């Protein structure tokens, strides 16, 4: 899901710039761990010795935006990607 939402954002950025296509020229994904102290049992006077840990998935993409479909290499149609992923996840486009 994280990759899909990142791809949706790439499509939104492309469309907001008045362009139609984008190419992914670099992509990275993984997990980032974040820990923070916690109160246990949710009482501000008792501190739990071990921290809670969040496992945060991330995806980053570097894109090349174009107004015309490139002659070489694969390019995404931004409108098709945006429509498809919004439908898949039942997302409403912000105006």
Dump pLDDT digits (tens) for 44-85: 555 545 555 667 788 889 999 999 999 989 999 999 999 999
In a domain, 61, yes or no: yes
19 located within any domain:
yes
Q: Is residue 95 part of a domain?
A: no
What is the extent of the structural domain holding 44?
2-88
Contact indicator for 53, 27 with CB cutoff of 8 Å: no
Give the pLDDT score at 81. 98
Residue 54 lies in a domain: yes
Residue 41 pLDDT exceeds 80: no
The answer to whether the bond into 11 is cis (omega within 30° of 0) is: no
Provide the pLDDT for residue 92: 87
Question: So what's the pLDDT on residue 51?
Answer: 57
Q: Report the domain count for the chain.
A: 1
Residue 93 lies in a domain: no
- DSSP string over 19-60: --EEEEEEEEEEEEEEEE--BTTS-TT-B-SSPEEEEEEEEE
8-36 pLDDT per residue, tens: 999 999 999 999 999 999 998 888 776 55
């Amino acid at each position: 899901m994280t990759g899909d939402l990142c791809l949706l954002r790439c499509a939104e950025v492309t469309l907001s710039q008045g362009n139609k296509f984008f190419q992914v020229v670099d992509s990275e994904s993984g997990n980032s761990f974040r820990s923070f102290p916690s109160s246990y049992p949710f009482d501000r006077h008792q501190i739990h010795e071990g921290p809670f840990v969040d496992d945060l998935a991330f995806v980053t993409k570097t894109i090349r935006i174009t107004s015309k479909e490139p002659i070489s290499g694969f390019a995404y149609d931004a409108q098709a990607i945006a429509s498809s992923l919004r439908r898949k996840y039942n997302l409403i486009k912000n105006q």
